[in-house]
Amino acid sequence: MNVIAVSDFRNNLSDYLNRVVYSGEDIYIKKGKSVVAKISKTKRTAKKLSILDLAGVISENEADKLNAYIESLDVWDNDTT
């Protein structure tokens, strides 16, 4: 277990994050005598981004602009009948 002081982590943040990302090490950060945090690489799964993922993230004005742009695209008119 790699336990480091918070001040050491702060002073060498880039180095520790590189160790987590590239070596897969877990870093435990202590403040005083107690471990208060753990930094570890996430196990992120590939997920296709959906328009619903933007809900609450973009403003109503941005959503209106996006909707107008989508409606202006001809790709939605695939009627081949």
Please identify which residue in the block is written with the tokens 């107690």: 34
Look at residue 45 in the predicted model and tell me its pLDDT: 67
pTM of the model: 0.52
Look at residue 78 in the predicted model and tell me its pLDDT: 58
Look at residue 80 in the predicted model and tell me its pLDDT: 55
pLDDT averaged per 10 residues, the chain (length 81) = 91 94 92 92 74 75 84 66 53
Helix spans in 4-80 (H):
6-11, 13-23, 60-72
Question: What DSSP state is assigned to residue 74?
Answer: G
Please identify which residue in the block is written with the tokens 């107008």: 68
Domains defined along the chain, listed by start: 2-39 (3.40.1620.10)
Look at residue 27 in the predicted model and tell me its pLDDT: 94
